Amino acid sequence: MIKKGILLLLLIISANLFAKEFIESYSYPTLMGESKMRAKDIAYKKLKDYFSLKLVSYVYRLNRRKNPDAVMKLTDEQRNYVTVAIDSMLVVDESWDGAVYKVRAKVYIDENKLFPPEEKEELPDSLKNKSSQEILAELRKWGEISQKTSSELSEINLHNKYVSADKKMAASKSFGKAQLYMNVGNYRTASKFFKKTLDSDPFYKNAKYNLGLCYLHIGAFLDAVKTFKQVILSDKDNEKAYYNLGVSYSKMGNWQKAIDNFKKTLDLKKDYREALYALGNSYIKNEESANAIPYLQQATELDSTDYKSFFNIGYAYDDIGKYDQAIASYKKTIELKSDFSDAYTNMGFAYFHKEDFDKALNVLKKAIEINPNDDTAFLNIGKVYNEMKEKDKSLDAYQKAARLGNVEAKRYLNKEHYSW
């Protein structure tokens, strides 16, 4: 028993010799009264920038150590590995005190993946004893039997040569179980059976794609990215794989890569409404609101009841200072979903920018009727009354916003020496 424990310990130590853990912290002090979500996005982005500088220099040092005479250059595989590692950083601690967003995270690097051992490709046993002429003759025979494309021919050929009937049967059983678990929302168990499917039959149709969906649902976004990339390698016209790869990147806050993949989705299927909405939303998150509008408008043309797209169109117009267009979009949102308080709140602030204070107050009060805990609506009411020189009403609204946790309201009251 003691010998087994020592052996296990040695295995753990030897595995860790090739793994490196990086830890970084960043504190973002809000400068322009940004929301918690906005401050979080900035803190995460800055932290990823720090990790990028640290990890790239680390890989350069390893390259030089392993090959001092080589040109100092990262391979595409190394760059991809570092990028994916940063995108999937593990947040170990984060906090928000209303003014500063603090985040601390880890990134793991495996040297074995940065410098994989060179593998010699050997012919399978089934082909070792065949001459090149015999192999060519067999391929010609396949071509005569089927009018399939070269990629399909290659896959069928490999599938039949290297996957036995027993393994195909085992894969089919595992896939059936995986589908059952997936249908009831047990994605973690489903992923295990999809992996068993692929262990038995690497060519099993839809198993890898469904495995990616499972990873996406259980929050294993790095694994989802890797899996959907593998699906795309074997099926470059799979618009759903590109879409879900974009979703995976958006879940990790990598908005530019999300944008790139949603665009590829639309290259393959122009009327993919979910991709149009996701692309528009990603542009807004990436602070490119003007670019978001055409895609969101296309989404509403495909589905005139899509209130979320109308709302985001309003947000994008609001963001670039086109308040009349923003108000029109918010009104359309409310027509479709009358209890959507955020649409009233944002429309009220658009009226505030237009200095139409009476309309601003009306819609902001409607937002509070729907959601009495809407701190942003109370904040904006405070701003409206402040502009109207009604100090008591303004102070009351600011204090209500502060009691609901609104940071900007707290700052204002502290500055003016008021409590809440």
pLDDT of residue 270: 95
Q: Of the residues 80, 114, 148, which one is the last residue of a structural domain?
A: 114
What residue numbers bound the domain in which 390 lies?
Answer: 339-420
Q: Is residue 108 part of a domain?
A: yes
Note whether residue 29 is domain-resident.
yes
Give the model's pLDDT for residue 33: 62
Q: What is the CATH number of the domain that holds 363?
A: 1.25.40.10
Of 88, 114, 140, which one is at a domain's C-terminal end?
114
Q: What is the pLDDT of residues 93-133, one digit of tens each?
A: 888 887 788 989 888 777 777 666 554 444 445 544 555 55
Show which of 64, 82, 114 is a domain's final residue. 114
Q: By the 8 A CB rule, do 224 and 212 touch?
A: yes
Tell me, yes or no, whether 414 lies in a domain. yes
Residue appearing with tokens 């009604």: 390
- Ranges of the chain with pLDDT below 70: 1-19, 31-34, 69-73, 76, 114-164
Query: Residue 341's pLDDT is what?
Result: 92
Q: Output the six-digit token pair for 194.
A: 């999809």
Q: What percent of the chain has pLDDT over 90?
A: 46
Q: Of 374, 373, 384, which Cα lies nearest the Cα of 350?
A: 384
Burial profile 106-142: b = 16 or more Cβ within 10 angstroms, e = fewer: ebebeeeebbeeeeeeeeeeeeeeeeeeeeeeeeeee
Q: Is residue 372 part of a domain?
A: yes
The per-residue pLDDT for 342 is 92
pLDDT given for residue 86 in this prediction: 81
Looking at residue 26, what is its pLDDT?
A: 86
Q: How many domains does the chain have?
A: 2
Q: Is residue 394 part of a domain?
A: yes
Query: CA–CA separation, 70 vs 312, rounded Å?
Result: 51
51 in Cβ contact with 104 (< 8 Å): no
Residue with tokens 């979320």: 308
Give domain status of residue 188, yes or no. Answer: no
Contact 224, 215 (CB under 8 A): yes
In a domain, 202, yes or no: no
Whether 214 contacts 190, CB under 8 Å: yes
- Determine the pLDDT at residue 99: 78
* Inside any domain, residue 205: no
Q: Label residue 211 exposed, middle or buried (CB < 10 Å: 0-12, 13-18, 19+).
A: buried
